[in-house]
Every structure is written in structure tokens, then in C-alpha cells.
Amino acid sequence: MNEEEQNGLFKVEEEKVSSVGKFDMSGAFGATSINVEKVKGAENFSKTVKRLIKYMKPELIMLISMVLISGIGAWFAVWVPDILKKVTNYLADSIQYFKTDSMDMSYIARICLISGGLYCLNAVFSFLGGVIAATMAQKVVRRMRMDIKYKLDRVPLKYFDATNTGEILSRLTNDVEMVSVTLQDTVNQVITVVMTISGVIFMMARLDYIMAIVTLASVPLLFIVSSLVIRKSQTEFANQQKLIGELNGHIEEMYAGHNIVLLYNHQKDAIEKFEDTNLLLEKATKKAQFLAGIILPLIKFVNNITYVSICVLGGYRAGLGLISIGDIQACIQYTKQFAQPVENISNIASTIQSSIASAERVFKMLDLVEMEPDAAKIDTKYMTGEVTFEHVAFSYADDKPLITDLNLHVNAADSIAIVGPTGAGKTTLVNLLMRFYDVNKGTITIDGVDIHDMNRDDLRGLYGMVLQDTWLFKGTVADNIAYGNKTATREEIITAAKKAHAHEFIESMEKGYDTELNDDASNISQGQKQLLTIARAILSDPKIIILDEATSSVDTRTEKYVQSAMLDMMKGKTSFVIAHRLSTIKHAKVILVMNHGDVVEQGNHEELMAQKGFYYDLYNSQFQGKQEGEPEENSAAKKFIQS
């Protein structure tokens, strides 16, 4: 990103906090610093939960099936103590009345088999519920990833200018994965907990309503203890997720510019910032886990009090003959069943908090403002490339106007050179032309058609670009060249490579055109990357060509051939040549001189030098000390700019 874009970065409306650490390498890589939203705590917790449930609507049938199966499975386990009490009462009566010799062992065996069968059914239904939960979770998170992908395809470019890459990746990976964990494991457990607690209370009420009341009395206490701790932990878990995104952004930034860090000996500063952020993450995680972990001991304490109360009260009521020994045994079992799911909730509390915080971050991304909808597709096949700017105004930030009133007309097949100091608006002009940004005022037309009324794909299909900064993806050399023309044959690819003078070095590689480039194409030189991007532009055969110091990374000898090749490519096409070295455009037919976002001068080199204006000063500042009579640029360069 160039300086003019840095000066006008999109201002995110949400309040930001600066990234932690003493050293910020973002400027060295031309990237924005990491900005992270302040944690707002639990105010959106219930809203996020409701939205997550609503988001699961397409999987409603699977969700209902999981609820039914998990509920039925939990009920099988709840039913067992009520059956086993019969065995306890039968044995107690036999011992009390000395009837041990006449015990009906088949009756006891039958009760035990029924209980075992119920436990087996509980296990089977729990397994089925888990399978459905896992399937449902993967469907939801797959759709969530796709929604994020589609959203990122539709948000304005200014969002990517203002947001760190690591932050975006964190939401696509860590946050979505946390949501997946919740849906796959936690939801199933919560359903089991709810069904178990409700079933236990119902069965205890059937046995003895007083002991059921004692057990229920612990629920408000458990709720108060849990809610107080959970409310506090929500903020800490949101802070934990925020710091994870910040740490990911720092790591991505440092390794993307590892050579720069080494070059300027900033390893120590980079490590210090990493350690500072890592330490903050450690503290936030400790706080979050402590608050989540303290719930379990508190719940165990309350449950143990309830357990003791049931034992004492049950013994007293059995002594009065109000309940049987089997009822006491069943109530004690139900007390343990009641305690277990509540303890499970405390165990998964940390997961729930992290997941809701993650879901909230994902939904914030899904709520980003999108670009205006695309217009209907039009036929651009017969467009010639006549470009007109009429009273165009644009600014990256409302308080920093960049282009105020730009008027420009470029005839079809004209080649225009654009010059100016850094921040003058050269790259901005190109960004507006391709609708990476929309103008604030005025219109830009191609062959009389407002680009705002054109489909973005149709519009960008008119352009071919060769930039100073190359971009290649992981894949074969042939795939990279054919990126702009999916229907290109191998012969057409080779022809384009020959015109770009890339064929020779490609053939010298181990697998030629089938050679695989790695992630950052580091297995070829910077100059070779440039040649491949030039071949890509030649193969796409665009109507309008944009060149931004396209030969800056090749050697002088190769530059002569490449300039000649690009001259052939530019024949009959409208061309915008952004030049930083004014020596390369001295013989251009028309030179646009930009400053502060506007065209301040226009003409050929001789006319502009005679005016002794801004171009005159700019040219002399580059060539101060060049003697009159020195040889002009090589003939290939001269021919290239006199298209």
C-alpha cells in the first residue's frame, strides 16, 4: 500500500485500542498497525446466543433430532434408580423378616438386566446424539466459512486497508473453530444436562416431595454463584480472543517481512513485542480460566451440602415410616445425577464463554457494510477503451480530501504517462478507474458508459495490469501465466511467455512450464516474477493496460526486450503508464502531471519543460547534475513510450 493510501486509511467506526508493545514494524512493510476492538463484556452475550440459534435454522431438523435423541437417552439413565429401588426394598424386607433363604433371585436378576439394558440404551442414544451434533456442527461452520468468504468478496477494499491480515485469518480459523467446538460438544452436553435435571426433579417429586424441594433449593444458590462468576469471565474470555487475534497478526506480519526485520536488526524489538503480547495473553487466559475453574469447586460445595441434607432427611423420614430404604437409595442416586450435569456445565463454562466471544466476532464480520450491488452484465466485447473523468472528487477520509475536481479525457488507443510525487494520487486514479474505490462525486466513463453502471467483473475484465509489486500464487508457471485467461491453450501460454522474454528461463527450470511455485514464489527471482506477470498481461489481451514501473525488477538488457514486447501489446489499446523515473517518459505523447490529487499540468516533455512549472521542478530534482548533451535513453525505451 502506498503512502497516499496510508494517509487516508478507512476509519473504523468501532472504538479501537492500540496494539501492545514498544515496536511497530507495520510501517516497514507498508501495512497498517494492528487495531483491535475494545472488549465490551457481556452486554451482547444473550444477543449472540440468540443469533447463533437463528443461524442454525437450516439445520433445524438435525437440531430437533439431536434434542429428542439426547433427551430420550438421558431419560433412560434417570429411570434406572427408580427401578433399582425395588431390589433394595426387596432385599431389605428379606433381611428384616429373615427370608433370605426364600429370596427370588430371578426377580433380582430381571431388575438388574432391565437396568443394564437401560444403561446400554443410554449409551447408544448418547452416541447417536453425538454423531448428529458433529454432523450439524460441521454443516453450520462450513456455511459460516462460506458466508465469511462471500462477505470478504463484497466488502470495500478500504476494509482490508484498515484491518490486519492476522485479524481476518484469526476470525476465519480460530473463531470459527471455537464455534464448531461449541456446537459439536457443548450443545449436546447442555441438552443432556437440561433433560437430566428435569427428569431427576420429576422422579424425586414422585418419591418424596420434601426431598425434591431440598434438592431444588440448591438451584437458586447454584444459579447465583455461577452467574456472578460467568458474568465476570465473559469479559476475560472476550479479551483472550482479542489478544489471540493480535498475536496472530504480529506473527504473520513479522514472518511476512522477516528479511526486513533482519536487515534493520529489529529482531530484539520484534521479540519484545511478541513477548509483551504473549504475556498479556497469558494473564488474560489465566484470569479467564481461573474464573471458569472456580465454578466447579463452588458447585461441588453446594452439591455436597445438598447430598448430606438428603441423607440426613431421608434417614429421618425413613425412621418415621414415611419412605422406604429403597426410596432413600433412589434419592441419593438422583442427588448425584443432579449434581453431575451441573458440574458438567461448570467444566464447559470456559468453552461456552470462548465460543460466544468467537461467535460475536464472526457475526461482526458478517455485519460489515458491503459494496453497492453490481449492475447488470453488459457486453464489453466491442468497447474501445475511451476513458473520461468528469469532475471527480475522492478522499480516503472525510477530513482529508485527496482528489477535488479531476477532469481527464483519454482517447481510445492513446498511451498516457502519469507522473507526480509520492501521494499525488497516481495509484488512486487507477484504483478509481478499476472501482476498487467508488468516487465521492463526479463520474468515470468508458466509451460513454458510467463504470458505476457496469458489472464489476465486466469492468475489470477490460484491464490488464503489470505492477511494480508482483503477485503470483502457489501453482505451476503455466497456471500463473494463464490466470487472466482460463481458456488459454499451452501454445498461447508459451507464445505470451516468449513475447515477455520469459520462455528462456522457464525452459531452464526442472519441469519447465509445469514447475510448481511455492507459497510466495521464492523459488524464482524478483525479475523472473516480473516477467511472468508481464506474460500474464499479454495473454489476457485487455482493452486497457495499466503499467506501474513494470520493468523495475528486470536487468537493463532484459528491459530493452520487455519494453519492445509491451509496445506490441499496447498497440491499439488505451494505456496508462505510471512512471516514477521521468527518464522513461520523456518522449511520451501526453504526460499528465498530478499533485495533491489533481492534474496540474498536461502536455509532452518539451511543452512542460518550457512552462517551467511543477513538472520542470520535478524533473530537475531527479536529474540535477545531468549534463546537456548526454545520450538519450536507449532506442527501445524511446520507441516504447512513443506509442
Amino acid at 397: A
Indicate the burial class of 404 (C-beta count within 10 angstroms; 0-12, 13-18, 19 or more): middle
pLDDT digits (tens, 9 = 90+) for 426-476: 888 888 888 888 888 999 999 999 998 888 888 888 888 887 777 888 889
Q: Of 5-19, 92-106, 186-200, 376-390, which range is least confident?
A: 5-19
Q: Report the pLDDT value the prediction gives residue 29, as an integer from 0 to 100.
A: 28
What would the mean pLDDT of 122-143 be, rounded to a whole number? Answer: 90
How many whole angstroms separate alpha carbon 254 and alpha carbon 122? 52
Q: Report the pLDDT value the prediction gives residue 602, as an integer from 0 to 100.
A: 85
- The set of cell numbers assigned to 105 is 433371585
Whether the predicted pLDDT of 116 surpasses 70:
yes
Mean pLDDT (the chain) is: 78
- The set of cell numbers assigned to 222 is 447454584
625 CA to centre of own chain: 51
Pairing assessment for the beta strands 415-419 and 574-578 based on DSSP bridges: parallel
Q: Which residue bears the cell 481461573?
A: 290
Please list the residues that pair with 388 across neighbouring strands. 409, 445
Q: Report the pLDDT value the prediction gives residue 620, as an integer from 0 to 100.
A: 84
Question: Between these two residues, 541 and 10, which has the higher pLDDT value?
Answer: 541
- The set of cell numbers assigned to 196 is 437430566
On whether the CB atoms of residues 244 and 282 are closer than 8 A, the answer is: no
Identify the band that residue 102 occupies on the pLDDT scale cut at 50, 70 and 90.
low
Q: Report the pLDDT value the prediction gives residue 10, as an integer from 0 to 100.
A: 34
Those residues with Cβ within 8 angstroms of residue 621's Cβ, 6 or more apart along the chain or in another chain:
none
Question: Between these two residues, 352 and 458, which has the higher pLDDT value?
Answer: 458
What is the percent of the chain with per-residue pLDDT over 90, rounded to a whole number?
7
For the chain, the first-to-last Cα distance in angstroms comes to: 29
pLDDT digits (tens, 9 = 90+) for 495-514: 999 888 889 889 998 889 99
On whether the CB atoms of residues 303 and 343 are closer than 8 A, the answer is: yes
How many whole angstroms separate alpha carbon 252 and alpha carbon 206? 61
Whether the predicted pLDDT of 249 surpasses 70:
yes
- The set of cell numbers assigned to 401 is 480530501
Identify the band that residue 642 occupies on the pLDDT scale cut at 50, 70 and 90.
very low
Whether the predicted pLDDT of 35 surpasses 50:
no
Identify the band that residue 343 occupies on the pLDDT scale cut at 50, 70 and 90.
low
Q: Report the pLDDT value the prediction gives residue 490, as an integer from 0 to 100.
A: 92
What is the percent of the chain with per-residue pLDDT over 70, rounded to a whole number?
84
On whether the CB atoms of residues 39 and 239 are closer than 8 A, the answer is: yes
pLDDT digits (tens, 9 = 90+) for 565-595: 777 777 888 888 887 777 667 767 788 888 8
Whether the predicted pLDDT of 641 surpasses 70:
no
Indicate the burial class of 106 (C-beta count within 10 angstroms; 0-12, 13-18, 19 or more): exposed
Q: Of 132-141, 334-343, 400-409, 530-539, which range is least confident?
A: 334-343
Question: Between these two residues, 524 and 300, which has the higher pLDDT value?
Answer: 524
What would the mean pLDDT of 87-109 be, rounded to a whole number? Answer: 71
Q: Report the pLDDT value the prediction gives residue 446, as an integer from 0 to 100.
A: 92
Per mean pLDDT, which of 102-106, 162-166, 585-589, 625-629 is the most reliable? 162-166
What would the mean pLDDT of 125-148 be, rounded to a whole number? Answer: 90
Torsion angle (degrees, nearest 10) of CA 316, 320, 323, 328: 20
Q: Report the pLDDT value the prediction gives residue 14, as an integer from 0 to 100.
A: 36
Whether the predicted pLDDT of 298 surpasses 60:
yes
Is pTM, for the whole model, over 0.85?
no
- The set of cell numbers assigned to 405 is 475536481
Q: Report the pLDDT value the prediction gives residue 97, as an integer from 0 to 100.
A: 53
pLDDT digits (tens, 9 = 90+) for 409-437: 888 888 888 888 877 778 888 888 888 88
- The set of cell numbers assigned to 274 is 511478541
Q: Report the pLDDT value the prediction gives residue 630, as an integer from 0 to 100.
A: 46
Q: Report the pLDDT value the prediction gives residue 594, as an integer from 0 to 100.
A: 86
What domains, with CATH codes, occur in the chain?
Answer: 131-366 (1.20.1560.10), 375-462+588-643 (3.40.50.300)
Q: Report the pLDDT value the prediction gives residue 104, as an integer from 0 to 100.
A: 73
What would the mean pLDDT of 355-373 be, rounded to a whole number? Answer: 86
Whether the predicted pLDDT of 40 surpasses 60:
no
